A and B are shown apart, each in its own frame.
Chain A
């Protein structure tokens, strides 16, 4: 918050200095202005039960007791307009935005705190002894090491593991996985009174907390940890544009920095207090590590123009050049003191690395050209071309090997591959309007993608689309569209038969329609349908198909006293792949085909019971996702699961239901004050196999935090007082 204030002050000061330097003649003589102020502030008193799951307040705060959900202040003073909006005052998800506007300048700002609660009450064997360093008592590690190494592998059954780790888990600490993202944006427009726009923008975002969890594979164990996060992203921009009757020209420059204050994650190995050569299953590192995102920067310079001619003819051209850089110092292969490289040098020394940093550089070029016109009144033409060149100029680095999971040197040499690609997309669009009743459109698209260092060097996609819009007076509107696309792959590497699905041959179809009916004045009925089907044409294995279709119905009633909406949406998602598993040297097939169904129902109503006195509003929302994965396999694969009831889907997040109810009754006790009583109820359920058994490490050697982000049920009641002036 302090940093945000500083940022805002600096930008405002800079804008002020800049503005002060402008000649007085550019300022327009202010007309006699009306001074006025208007605003609103709301106080709320809320009571609710406790919720252990982080999911309830994943992105929102619902504080108990007294809070201020919002305030608004707008007005005009001596010809300067201003506005200040506040939401969730002093809460973790607070937000403030607004603007100040005079004759030749405008300053807009937005300060947005985004909380992200990922999981509450995770179980930790470690303590964070320094930022990004997770530690465990050396004494305890020695005891565990002795017991672990004295026990033969065959004895380490799951019950044995439960007993082995039980005391440590019982004594473990709890941790909440939660991130705070504070983003401030300021834009100063200094050209308003000058007949053009010249803007300076500054964005500053601080992220602190734990943005996620990171599993670290240490020796032969996996430990899931909160990902300590302390990062700063900044963006400075200059944007200028000039708009006239003949068109416009515009340009912009942006420079963006990302600074990671915690680029390294370290964790103690609970089964080793000291480094030792790894002799499976004994030995290994005393610590594991993970290299987090390095600092980076990006600059983009863009320029473009739009020219207007008669017959609604527009010629648009834009070009943007970008450069991304990353040159953070490499961390050593490992921090394990016992590992030597193939040359016999210590792998924990930076001097053993083939390079000290990447010197990574990527150049991007985006080109956009468009010509559109209506040469005849009913005829519309649009030709456009767009390309994006992602040229990775990072020098490849050759490494003679690497340290595998911090435990031993792998002699598998590797060369980093700086992937690059280039896309081009040409479209021809022809439209015909037949008065107010019918419009038709045809589109032809030719798209190409070329890549480096991948299995298919080139994809070419040809597509056509047809759409129609029909209108029946004021009461009916129908939109319909169909698209068919075919993608080919070429330049396929030797020995490659089945491609990754983003490169594979593909046949795509899209069908959609939207019908809006207003049979009589307050009633509107809307029906929407969309279907997309992608079929991938790999000869043997890989992603097979993806199909998504959705149907929605909605009814709206809009009168001066009643506004009501009710909707229902059905979605179905089907996709999957065909893979194989080698059993007795035979490739045994299996298929994994998802078939997820979602039902969403909702509605809201706003009723003026007594106009300007009593209002009632309510909202209901329900969504149920029924996830299903149909797994099938050859007889040999089925036989491997015979003892466990055959092949079965893994429930994992994809079965959920969410029900939300809100209702509020408000009374305008005076022209300034409104008193409201409200109720809120929400229920969330989900299934997840990983936590189904209620244990903290669901597989041997896999130590998960198991934080609570699961089902919850909550009811809240509140009263609020809104004051307007």
Chain B
């Protein structure tokens, strides 16, 4: 708390010389031709909170007014340079969250602010997005992730309980894959804090990167796994003995006769949780009887 208070005081001092907010006015003139747009704008956060008017964003209005309309005004058209549109927004929005936008993948791929946001015709509850659900905005370009989100194992994004921005910051230009944490694992621990540890017995690939085994965007394997078990585990545990042996349908009840005296070829390593039937603590064990993650 003391650190927080210190930060507050420092920032208050630095902010003392804050320039006054200077919003251009001009909406009245615009309303004579664009009445519906101007009326709707009165409850728009840009006007209601930021004090912006039409000419705050639509520069070049003087000639537009003189000529009674025409293309001289900046209207955020599809043919305008994406960078030009983005800079218009960043004039106000290049704050902390959008500060590194220009060096990010979206800006570098000519995705400008109006690709995702609509000031006058937004459909979302917040953030003035073009689609009602945030994920649908992202799926406009990231179509493979729309397909993955429908897999039998998925994070609750289609159900609206999470969104893409739960993990990614589309305005960020500094983190790989725009993940909003210092590492992939730190992002995962925000909801799965029980896996953070440290543990007595660590599973090294788990500790380094959750994506070694999981696909957070959706999978047709249980628990968002990259592949079905036991084959997923055998990608690394390929050595001889029971970790690396081949298990197939003949090791399941469905694929093996059950009446062989003395047992069958059915194996606990091929059914249900497969390897995890015994090694249930693969994310790390805090038991002194858990060197093989069985406790």
Contact = CB atoms under 8 A, between A and B. Distances in A.
Contacts of A518: 78
B102 A569 contact: no
Contacts of B205: 500, 502
Tell me the dominant secondary structure on chain A's binding face: strand
A316 B101 CA distance: 12
Contacts of B48: 76, 81
B50 to A, nearest CB: 11
A45 B77 CA distance: 44
Interface in A488-539: 498, 500-502, 514, 518, 526, 528, 530
Contacts of A59: 156, 159, 161
A700 B266 contact: yes
Interface stretch (B53-61, B67-75, B227-235): B227-235
A222 B238 contact: no
A334 B289 CA distance: 8
A448 interface: no
Interface string B91-124: 0001110011011000011100000000000000
B39 interface: no
B272 A224 contact: yes
Contacts of A97: 125
A397, A654, A658 interface centre (most CB from chain B within 10 Å): A654
A388 B147 CA distance: 32
Interface string B139-159: 001011011101111001001
Interface in A650-701: 650-654, 656, 658, 684, 686, 689-690, 692-693, 695, 698-701
A38 B295 CA distance: 56
Nearest to B162: A114
Contacts of B193: 231, 233, 256, 258, 296
A528 B244 contact: no
Contact of A314 (B100, B143, B241): B100
B261 A157 contact: yes
Q: Size class of A's contact patch?
A: 35 or more
Interface string A592-629: 10101010101000000000000000000101010101
B286 interface: yes
B184 to A, nearest CB: 10
Contact of A217 (B79, B286, B294): B294
Given A324-B198, A649-B248, A699-B266, A242 B271 contact: no
Contact of B263 (A156, A312, A384): A156
Interface in A355-393: 358, 360-362, 364, 366, 368, 370, 372, 380, 382, 384, 386, 388, 390, 392
Contact of A402 (B11, B175, B289): B289
A702 B183 contact: no
Question: Which residue, A216, A306, A650, has most C-beta atoms of chain B within 10 A?
Answer: A650
Contacts of B42: 34
A224 B262 contact: no
A396 to B, nearest CB: 10
Contacts of B251: 650
Contacts of A368: 174-175
B291 A414 contact: yes
Given A76-B48, A196-B11, A296-B193, A653 B182 contact: no
A600 B147 contact: yes
B196 A298 contact: yes
Nearest to A360: B198
Which of A116, A258, A652 counts the most chain B CB atoms within 10 A? A652
Contacts of B196: 258, 296, 298, 324, 326
Contacts of B266: 158, 698-700
Nearest to A623: B150
B276 A215 contact: yes
Contacts of A260: 194
B37 interface: no
Contact of B110 (A403, A469, A567): A469
B8 A240 contact: yes
Contacts of A643: 257
A157 B263 contact: yes
A360 B270 CA distance: 35
Interface string A27-40: 00000001010100
Interface string B168-182: 000001111000001
Nearest to A633: B246
A131 interface: no
Contact of B198 (A196, A256, A326, A579): A326
Given A647-B246, A686-B152, A656 B220 contact: yes
Interface stretch (A140-148, A275-283, A285-293, A713-721): A285-293
B249 interface: yes
A44 to B, nearest CB: 16
A157 B263 CA distance: 5
Contacts of A34: 42
A698 B271 contact: yes
B267 interface: yes
A482 interface: no
Contacts of A326: 196-199, 286
Given A242-B15, A419-B202, A648 B78 contact: no
B248 A647 contact: yes
Find the residue from B144, B146, B189, B241 having the highest chain A CB count within 10 A.
B144
B194 A543 contact: no
A372 B102 contact: yes
Contacts of A251: 7
B268 A699 contact: yes
Contact of A649 (B151, B204, B212, B249): B249
Interface string B8-21: 10111011001000
A324 B186 CA distance: 11
Contacts of A469: 109-110
A331 interface: yes
B204 A571 contact: no
B108 A441 contact: yes
B161 to A, nearest CB: 5
B143 A567 contact: yes
B88 interface: no
A501 B15 contact: no
B176 A217 contact: no
A695 B236 contact: no
B198 A418 contact: yes
A328 B143 CA distance: 44
A358 B264 contact: no
B165 interface: no
A469 B195 CA distance: 42
Given A215-B277, A241-B95, A594-B231, A698 B252 contact: yes
Contact of A473 (B4, B79, B255, B280): B79
A695 B207 CA distance: 37
A263 B271 CA distance: 27
B137 interface: no
Interface in B200-245: 200-202, 204-205, 207-209, 212, 220-222, 227-229, 231, 234-236, 238-241, 244-245
Interface string A551-584: 0101000000000000101010001111111100
Contacts of B271: 689-690, 698-699, 702, 704
Closest 5 CB pairs of A and B: A195-B18, A360-B198, A293-B194, A238-B4, A366-B182
12 contacts: A191-B12, A213-B273, A216-B280, A217-B294, A253-B4, A290-B281, A306-B100, A479-B110, A594-B227, A629-B231, A653-B152, A653-B228
Interface of B: 1, 3-4, 7-8, 10-12, 14-15, 18, 42-43, 48-49, 77-79, 81, 83, 94-96, 99-100, 102-103, 108-110, 125, 141, 143-144, 146-148, 150-153, 156, 159-161, 173-176, 182-183, 186, 189-191, 193-202, 204-205, 207-209, 212, 220-222, 227-229, 231, 234-236, 238-241, 244-268, 270-273, 276-278, 280-281, 283, 285-291, 294-295
Given A358-B200, A429-B103, A652-B229, 5 more contacts: A101-B49, A157-B260, A289-B295, A334-B289, A592-B234
